[in-house]
A and B are shown apart, each in its own frame.
Chain A
Amino acid sequence: GAVVSQHPSRVICKSGTSVKIECRSLDFQATTMFWYRQFPKQSLMLMATSNEGSKATYEQGVEKDKFLINHASLTLSTLTVTSAHPEDSSFYICSALARDQETQYFGPGTRLLVL
């Protein structure tokens, strides 16, 4: 089946720094990628939808200037958490969708801890 990877799997950073998370579709072209966030004891929440070559669409309440999303190619999307703060500590997961397909494939997730 299709594989989606995320890097890094875990990251610890100091408050105020920026962190970049990569999401790659390894064996298919992903025209759409989704970024989710999950806080402890809460459900996975969609942050933004990213289409290759266009600006990401952010869900209500998600700051686009803080969570920069780039989907520059059909196999790579990046999420940059700018000026990270402890409240940004969370589990970030991406998923990828091929053109004309309905099935999303999920990455394994990235655990971010901001100190």
Chain B
Amino acid sequence: KQEVTQIPAALSVPEGENLVLNCSFTDSAIYNLQWFRQDPGKGLTSLLLIQSSQREQTSGRLNASLDKSSGRSTLYIAASQPGDSATYLCAGGGSQGNLIFGKGTKLSVKP
């Protein structure tokens, strides 16, 4: 059974700092790995999707990596801004479209 763990549960950084969010999964037979952003009271926003055959994806200041052999994914945020404050979720995807989500990392970027 796939389990997804995110560390840390919460993170507070000063504006401008580069940071890394970690995600680990137990079943390496992962179909894809997705990172989402969740703002309070709102639906998820998809950030990056990495297929199992890929190693990384980039979008703007965000870079996500995937290492299936070690069961890890990281989300790197460069030059963090207060607007980046949110909860970040990673989810392991199965071939049937089912998603197993981690519990998220709550990020606070202080001005």
Contacts and interface: CB of A to CB of B under 8 A. Distances in A.
B44 A102 contact: no
Contacts of A34: 43-44
Nearest to A42: B49
Contacts, number: 50
Interface residues of A, number: 24
Given A40-B97, A43-B34, A49 B51 contact: no
Contacts of A38: 97, 99
A49 B42 contact: yes
B36 interface: yes
Question: Which size bracket describes the interface of B in this complex?
Answer: 20 to 34
Contact of A109 (B40, B43, B98, B104): B98
B43 A106 contact: no
Given A44-B36, A45-B46, A46-B45, A106 B101 contact: yes
A46 B43 contact: yes
Contact of A36 (B43, B49, B98): B43
Contacts of B44: 34, 36, 44, 46, 95, 104
A78 to B, nearest CB: 17
Interface in A27-58: 32, 34, 36, 38, 40-46, 49
Interface string B21-42: 0000000000010101010111
A2 to B, nearest CB: 12
Given A32-B41, A49-B42, A102 B97 contact: no
A44 B41 CA distance: 18
Given A41-B32, A44-B34, A104-B38, A49 B97 contact: no
Nearest to A46: B43
Nearest to A57: B43
A64 B49 CA distance: 27
Contacts of A23: none
Given A44-B34, A49-B43, A109-B99, 4 more contacts: A44-B91, A46-B44, A90-B97, A106-B99
Interface of B: 32, 34, 36, 38, 40-46, 49, 51, 87, 91, 96-99, 101, 104
